[in-house]
Amino acid sequence: MATFFNEFFGVTTDQLDAHGAFNISVINDMPLFIDPFLLFNSKKPEYRQLHDDILRYMMFLRDAVIAGRITPDLEKAWFLFPEVKQNWLGFSLHGNGGSGLGHDFASALKQNLETLFADFGAEKVTKGSHLEKVCLVQSGVGRDMISDFTTNLIKHWLCKYTEQFALAHIEPALRKKVWIAKSRFNYELEVWEREQFELPCLDGDFVLLTPKDLLTKDENWINKPDMIHDFESIPASIPDAELRGQVFNFFERALARKDDKRPTTRDRAEAAVKTIINFPQLIDYYIRLKEQTGDKATDISTQKVLETKEFFETQVRALQAALLGDTEFYDVKGLTYEEVHRRLAYLKDVIENKGGHKLFYHKGVAIQRESDLQILFRFVWFGSPLDVGAEVNDGRGPVDYKISFGAKDKTLVEMKLAKNTALERNLEKQLPIYQAASDAKHGIKAIMFFSAQEKQRLDGILDKLGILGHKDVVVIDARNDNKPSGSKAA
φ, ψ for residue 392 (rounded to 5)?
-75, 130
Give the pLDDT of residue 405.
Answer: 56
Q: Alpha-carbon distance 177 to 155, whole Å?
A: 16
Shared domain for 285 and 348, answered yes or no, is: no
Shared domain for 28 and 138, answered yes or no, is: yes
Residue 311 domain-assigned? no
pLDDT tens series, the chain, 490 aa:
678 999 999 999 999 999 999 999 888 888 899 999 999 999 999 999 999 999 999 899 999 999 999 999 999 999 998 888 999 997 554 444 555 677 778 887 887 777 767 777 778 889 888 888 877 765 556 677 888 889 999 999 999 999 999 999 999 999 999 999 999 999 999 999 999 999 999 989 999 999 999 999 878 899 888 999 889 899 989 999 999 999 999 999 998 877 778 888 888 988 998 998 888 889 999 999 999 999 999 999 999 898 888 888 888 888 888 888 878 887 766 667 888 888 888 889 999 998 889 888 888 888 888 888 878 877 777 655 444 554 444 444 444 555 555 556 677 777 889 999 989 988 887 666 545 666 666 778 889 999 999 999 999 999 998 888 888 889 999 999 887 654 444 4
Shared domain for 272 and 168, answered yes or no, is: no
Shared domain for 414 and 343, answered yes or no, is: yes
Give the pLDDT of residue 328.
Answer: 80
Residue 305 domain-assigned? no
CA-to-CA separations, 295 to 52, 231, 232, 302, 322, in angstroms, rounded: 19, 21, 22, 11, 39
Shared domain for 216 and 228, answered yes or no, is: no
Sign of the dihedral through C-alpha 6, 11, 16, 19: negative
Residue 135 domain-assigned? yes
Q: Alpha-carbon distance 270 to 281, whole Å?
A: 18
Q: Alpha-carbon distance 463 to 112, whole Å?
A: 52
Q: Alpha-carbon distance 379 to 418, whole Å?
A: 21
Q: Alpha-carbon distance 268 to 251, whole Å?
A: 9
Shared domain for 20 and 92, answered yes or no, is: yes
Shared domain for 55 and 135, answered yes or no, is: yes
Q: Alpha-carbon distance 150 to 81, whole Å?
A: 11
Look at strands 398-404 and 410-417 and give their pairing.
Answer: antiparallel
Residue 142's closest CA among 108, 119, 96, 113? 108
Q: Alpha-carbon distance 186 to 175, whole Å?
A: 28
Shared domain for 242 and 343, answered yes or no, is: no
Domain count along the chain: 3
Residue 216 domain-assigned? yes
Shared domain for 199 and 246, answered yes or no, is: no
Residue 307 domain-assigned? no
Q: Are 36 and 132 within 8 A, CB to CB?
A: yes
Q: Are 154 and 172 within 8 A, CB to CB?
A: no
* Angle at alpha carbon of residue 141, lines to 139 and 144, rounded to 5°: 145
Q: Alpha-carbon distance 348 to 356, whole Å?
A: 9
Shared domain for 31 and 169, answered yes or no, is: yes
Shared domain for 281 and 370, answered yes or no, is: no
Residue 321 domain-assigned? no
**Residue 224 burial (10 A CB sphere; 0-12, 13-18, 19+):** buried
Residue 84 domain-assigned? yes
Residue 259: give the domain boundaries.
Answer: 224-292
Convert 174-204 into a string of H (helix), E (strand) and C (coil). HEEEEEEEEEEEECCCCEEEEEEEEEEEECC
Give the pLDDT of residue 49.
Answer: 96
Residue where one domain finishes, among candidates 222, 239, 271: 222
Residue 308 domain-assigned? no
Shared domain for 256 and 216, answered yes or no, is: no
Q: Is the pTM of this model over 0.85?
A: no
Q: Are 219 and 225 within 8 A, CB to CB?
A: yes
Give the pLDDT of residue 367.
Answer: 85
